Structure 1
Amino acid sequence: MPQSIEALKGSCVRIPCSFTLGSIKAVDYDPCLKTHSCNAIWMRGGTDKTNTVGSSPSGNLNQKDCTTILDNMPTGDKLYFRLECGNCVKFNFGTPVQINIADTPPTPTLTPATVEVREGTSVSLICSAAAPCPSLHPTLTWTPSLGQSEEGLQENQDKTQVKTSSLTFTASYLHHEQNISCTALYKQQDGKNVKSPETSLTVTVLFSPKNTSVSVSPSGSVLEGSSMTLTCSGNANPAVSYTWYRVNGVQVTTVGSSRMLTIQVSASLLAHAFSVLPKNVLYDSGQAILSQVCLGSLSIWKTHLRPSFNLFCEVHQYLLQQSTPKT
């Protein structure tokens, strides 16, 4: 029998219970069972039979199983068990069980408590909520519902029961920093529903750079000799490092290593394109995505009075394939 059980006000509670008879020998007990029926009596606060609790035994007392269900518990107390089998066996058990009655359900638990996985990994989360009343198990709800969930009922070591829901999904970069919560809805014996506080965790997903793009500032008219900034944007976890390249025909030159690249506006930009390669520890060298920009819709002015020439440019993304040299 557990030392204590948490129960919800207005609901039933199951007391898992088994016993041995101590000083009463089997030769005395077994014949008694053949001629008398046994009763399980639960007493509040002590061994006074005038202060008993109405109960519905669900265990087989002949097999020393005194598991009992108490209905519509109003308040908590220490309950002592007494076994009576006619006049031949009357036995008080000295160790009580503490029944704690709460107005609101307990908060469910999440296992594991934290999640950090690589993109593409299968993730399994388990939400567990106490199920003290066998006829009114809680309903568990996941928010958001990311995949298939499967419910079950488990027993703790002390024989109290727990309702579980297992949620399985494949981690995507879209799940990064997403909050996942679980709540338990309990029904009381009068038909009312009581909702538990939610329990939650934030998912951390490790993924290579996604949705990479390059912006140009200023994007309108610029004065020859002034500065222009190219900025790389995208998503990745962990953080990325950047490598900028200037492309002139077949000639490729490394020109920067931060998120932003500042260049000086000149007529020579007509022949050049700029590419950026963001990468982190999950970067795949065989499937690297570069973002390229050739400066477009841009008017370059030699003086403050009028434009001297125009640059037309586009933004592209292309796949960088790396091959192994032949020997």
Structure 2
Amino acid sequence: FSMWTNYFDLILEWSAWMPSKIEALRGLCVVIPCSFTLSPQYESWLTASCKGIWMKRWSQVFDSSLTGTGFNEIPGNLTGNLEHKECTTVLNDLPYLNHYFYFRLECGSSLKFSFSESVRIVTKDDPSQPTLTPATVEVMEGTSVNLICSAAAPCPTLPPTLTWTPTLTGSMQDFPEPQNQVLTSVMNFTVSHVHHGEEITCTALYKQKPGMSEKSSQKSLTVTVFYSPKNTSVSVRPSFSVVQDSSVSLTCSSSANPYVLSYNWYRVIGEQVTQIGAGKSLTLDGKASDSGEYYCEALHALGMEKATVLVVQFACKCEYVHCLLYICLLVVLYLTTGELVKIGVPMFYRS
């Protein structure tokens, strides 16, 4: 029983902490956060003479005592203080990797121990997509929204740059999280109706060493904005000058989300406003009495908006006949004389 007790005590006392998995870009660096514990009676053995070694299976890939000599399979730097039981290490110029790495502590010839815990390091040619939170944005106009973009930042000397497109009117702030190997950018803006249907993209750009092309990855979301009627207006068909007894169609259009389903039509006579119809379109028969000022109103669960007043004028047919005769007279004079003749406007047209 005593033997097993001592064995489990050893396991608890001699242990290392490190992430279970780290992803990095090939050719760049990676930080391995690492710390360890050991039996109290050995803590006094932790001196400046200690060194940290990283093993891949049974082969040694990094020895802190060989830093800068060029003899390490993977160059790097032990940034942790072994005397404080810190074994954090930066490995540089990463080759293709998909292996488990183990930490070994050596303090002279008396203290040598390989910890059983491991970290799996996977290198890739292309960076992973950033994460975008929230994944969807469906809000009312005027709402203040925070978009959070996070990208992996395993190499502290060449961290990614996060950019937002399109450029939004608002505030943006980056928050490095070296302990989590993440760079986070927070975009805050107030949602307007112009953002409805807009795709917002966060791009993570990873710089490379000289001679290597930059790498990037991105994540996008589409904004849905619920808003009351906007840009309400009236269009006329036919759009040219209209004579009496020729009907015209007035059409009301408006932008809203959800779509506008209810329209009302009004006629303005002096200071009196009268509702004369409902629906998206209004047809006028072309009577002289139909000439006047009209506007439409778009109704919505979130609000309403009125269009600018439109003046509709139905001209008397006789004016167009007089004008046509006048033009014909000019043409005849030109054909007979060979030149344009300046003549007065006929009295019947001047009226």
> Does structure 2 retain, via aligned residues, the 8 Å contact 1:277–1:291?
no
Q: Which residue number in structure 1 is paired with residue 127 of structure 2?
A: 105
Q: Which residue number in structure 2 is paired with residue 91 of structure 1?
A: 113
Of residues 29, 36, 43 in structure 2, which corresponds to 1:30?
43
TM-score normalised to structure 1 length: 0.79
Kindly provide the amino acid, as one letter, of the partner of residue 262 in structure 1: T
> Does structure 2 retain, via aligned residues, the 8 Å contact 1:42–1:53?
no
CA distance in 2: counterparts of 1:306 and 1:114, whole angstroms = 64
CA distance in 2: counterparts of 1:267 and 1:148, whole angstroms = 58
Q: Which range moved further: 169-178 or 123-132?
A: 169-178
Matches within 5 A, 1:1-327: 1-21=18-38, 25-27=39-41, 29-34=42-47, 37-44=49-56, 46-49=57-60, 53-76=74-97, 77-146=99-168, 147-154=170-177, 159-190=179-210, 192-222=212-242, 224-240=244-260, 241-249=262-270, 252-270=273-291, 272-283=292-303, 288-296=305-313, 298-299=314-315, 301=317
CA RMSD of aligned residues (A): 2.7
Kindly name which structure, 1 or 2, has the bigger radius of gyration based on alpha carbons.
Answer: 2
Percent identity over paired residues: 50
CA distance in 1: counterparts of 2:85 and 2:316, whole angstroms = 95
Give how far 1:71 is off: 0.4
Gaps of 5+ in 1: 308-327
Kindly provide the amino acid, as one letter, of the partner of residue 255 in structure 1: I
Give how far 1:229 is off: 1.0
Q: Which is helix-richer, 1 or 2?
A: 2
CA distance in 1: counterparts of 2:124 and 2:193, whole angstroms = 41
Structure number with higher relative contact order (C-alpha < 8 Å, ≥ 6 residues apart):
1
> Does structure 1 retain, via aligned residues, the 8 Å contact 2:75–2:93?
no
- Secondary structure at the residue paired with 1:279? strand
User: How big is each residue's C-alpha offset from its partner over 1:131-160, in whole Å with a ceiling of 9 and x where there is no partner?
Assistant: 0011111111111221332111125xxx43
CA distance in 1: counterparts of 2:255 and 2:49, whole angstroms = 72
> Does structure 2 retain, via aligned residues, the 8 Å contact 1:221–1:300?
no
Give how far 1:305 is off: 7.5
Gaps of 5+ in 2: 1-17, 63-72, 324-351
Q: Which residue number in structure 2 is paired with residue 320 of structure 1?
A: none
CA distance in 1: counterparts of 2:276 and 2:165, whole angstroms = 46
CA distance in 1: counterparts of 2:152 and 2:226, whole angstroms = 33
- How many residues of Structure 1 are paired with residues of Structure 2 in the alignment? 292
> Does structure 2 retain, via aligned residues, the 8 Å contact 1:39–1:84?
yes
Kindly provide the amino acid, as one letter, of the partner of residue 83 in structure 2: N
CA distance in 2: counterparts of 1:83 and 1:191, whole angstroms = 37
> Does structure 2 retain, via aligned residues, the 8 Å contact 1:72–1:189?
no
Q: Which range moved further: 221-230 or 57-66?
A: 221-230
